[in-house]
Structure 1
Amino acid sequence: MVTALKSQFLFTMSADLEESIPVGAGPLGMRLVAYVADGTVKGDKVNGVMLPGGGDWALIRSDGCLQIDVRACIKTDDGAIIYATYGGRMDIPADLQPKAFNRATAETIDPGEYYFRTCPLFETGDERYAWLNRIQAVGVGRLTSTGVAYDVHQIL
Structure 2
Amino acid sequence: MAEIRTTPLMTLKLAVDGMQAVGETPSGNRRVGLVAGGTFEGPKLRGKVLPGGADWIMVRNDGVTTLDVRIVLETEDGATIGLQYRGLRHGPDDVMAKVNAGQFVDPSLYYFRTTVTFETASPKYAWLNKAFGIGTGSRPPEGPVYEIFEVL
Q: TM-score, normalised by structure 1?
A: 0.94
User: 2-side partners of 1:130 and 1:101: how far apart?
Assistant: 36
Whether the 8 Å CA contact 2:90–2:96 is kept in 1: the answer is: no
Could you tell me which residue of structure 2 aligns to residue 40 of structure 1?
39
Letter in 2 for 1:95: D
Residue 117 of structure 1: which of 109, 113, 117 is its match?
113
Could you tell me which residue of structure 1 aligns to residue 126 of structure 2?
130
Unaligned segments of structure 2, at least 5 residues: none
The CA RMSD measured in Å over matched residues stands at: 0.9
Equivalent residues in 2 for 1:26-65, closer than 5 Å:
26-65=25-64
User: 1-side partners of 2:91 and 2:18: how far apart?
Assistant: 19
Equivalent residues in 2 for 1:4-153, closer than 5 Å:
4-103=3-102, 105=103, 107=104, 109-153=105-149
Unaligned segments of structure 1, at least 5 residues: none
Letter in 2 for 1:89: L
Per-residue deviation at 1:25? Answer: 0.4
Per-residue deviation at 1:92? Answer: 2.8
Q: TM-score, normalised by structure 2?
A: 0.97
* Deviation by residue 1:77-113 (Cα, 9 ceiling, x = unmatched): 000000011111011321112211122x2x2x11000
Structure showing the higher strand proportion among its residues: 2
Between Structure 1 and Structure 2, how many residues are aligned? 152
Runs of 4+ deviating beyond 4 Å: none
